[in-house]
Structure 1
């Protein structure tokens, strides 16, 4: 299959999502065996928020109850997500049909939630996220349809 610049752009985007997830996983692992209550309190005070206020208090309370096992599980989940993104990016960059299917299905899963978010909030960020995701799904579906058309022409 000829090189598709749109698929390569999606591959780079998916790889960057993988890098962000990997950074998040690493950050979570750095928090294991730390006093999260103290860390949350210092973060709230550093941002000049009132620790006794409602939302900063919720954040501090949640950090207090976050256990090392839960942090490790979250880090493992983020690492797994990063791995899926890297594998998808590799497949898209190489023009693999399975990666196009993964990109189309993986992106389409989020569309109903993103539409609901846009309806509920109606902000520019939600619209941008929805538009980017629809573009990714469109690029993947278009590549699959082209592949299907090329396959049926070769069979004739």
Structure 2
């Protein structure tokens, strides 16, 4: 049973990492709140040495100009909610709480069709990596739950 606990702890660390990344996004967005987002994006793009005449660069600048402080606050609230859910899930998996095992199975399973679609429409190593990791997590959680039920 210790291998099951080790697997659950590994998934708990993955979920906690997702939560931490969300918190870092919140801090970044909070820092941007009240600033001229379009100007910030223009500066970032100029430092990245991208061609300013490129259509995608121009589109990024245009879309950045449409971002309001209310939009940022909405995204911050969503990121905080997501982080909270990931931290609760990580805690539950770390302590082998059955309900979080089911939650991990279902929440991971929900993303699979979208990740598979993304893999077929815009394949990349990142997309493939995310899909594989999620398949491993969902498969592992299924085995844990099935084993406990038998």
- Which residue of 2 is the match for residue 84 of structure 1? 85
- Which residue of 2 is the match for residue 98 of structure 1? 99
Q: Distance in 1 between matches of 2:125 and 2:74?
A: 33
User: 1:79 Cα deviation (Å)?
Assistant: 0.8
- Count of residue pairs brought into register by the alignment: 149
Which is further off, 118-127 or 42-51? 118-127
Q: Helix, strand or coil: the match of 1:4? A: helix
Deviation digits for residues 87-108 of structure 1 (CA, Å, limit 9, x no counterpart)? 0000000000110011000000
Q: Which has the larger radius of gyration?
A: 1
TM-score, structure 2 normalization: 0.92
TM-score, structure 1 normalization: 0.89
List runs of 5+ in structure 2 lacking aligned partners.
none
Q: Distance in 2 between matches of 1:127 and 1:44?
A: 27
List runs of 5+ in structure 1 lacking aligned partners.
150-156
What RMSD in Å do the two structures reach over aligned CA positions? Answer: 1.5
Give the 5 Å matches for 1:75-154.
Answer: 75-149=76-150
Give the 5 Å matches for 1:3-82.
Answer: 4-82=5-83
- Which residue of 2 is the match for residue 152 of structure 1? none
Q: Helix, strand or coil: the match of 2:53? A: coil
- Relative to 1, partners in 2 of residues 1:27 and 1:6: Cα closer, same or farther, differing over 3 Å? same
